[in-house]
Amino acid sequence: QVQLVESGGGSVQAGGSLRLSCAASGYTYSNYCMAWYRQIPGKEREGVASISPGGVTTYYVEPVKGRFTISRDNAKNTLYLQMNSLKPEDTAMYYCAADRRYGGTCSYALQYRYWGQGTQVTVSS
């Protein structure tokens, strides 16, 4: 049973930083693509970043490029999202996701199968 548990959210002022973590269990973590999504109430969920099973290939949505970094530690079954230079428009619930793509693209643009419960990020101006 796939389980994904996010942590690290919180409140921060604009320009600050946060590091999100996602602890994975119940499957062979190193075989799976991983991704971060975010959602604002009343809006559709948006892909933020994703990463290949080995951590070599990453994808980012344009508004976060140069500010956010996705990474993974396959020895610890953990996914990370380092968020720097945060802006009020980054305020959202952030979700961790996993999917087995069997060598296909890990892009967040394609639907991910497994989801965590989310962690709230609030950036004040």
Backbone φ and ψ of 41, nearest 5°: -50, 130
- Per-residue pLDDT of 6-55, as tens digits, reads 999 999 999 999 999 999 999 999 999 999 999 998 999 999 999 999 99
Cβ atoms of 123 and 13 within 8 Å: the answer is: yes
pLDDT at 65: 98
Q: Distance of CA 67 to CAs 2, 70, 73, Å?
A: 29, 10, 20
In terms of Cβ atoms closer than 10 Å to its own Cβ (0-12, 13-18, 19+), residue 108 is buried
pLDDT at 33: 98
- Per-residue pLDDT of 54-63, as tens digits, reads 999 999 999 9
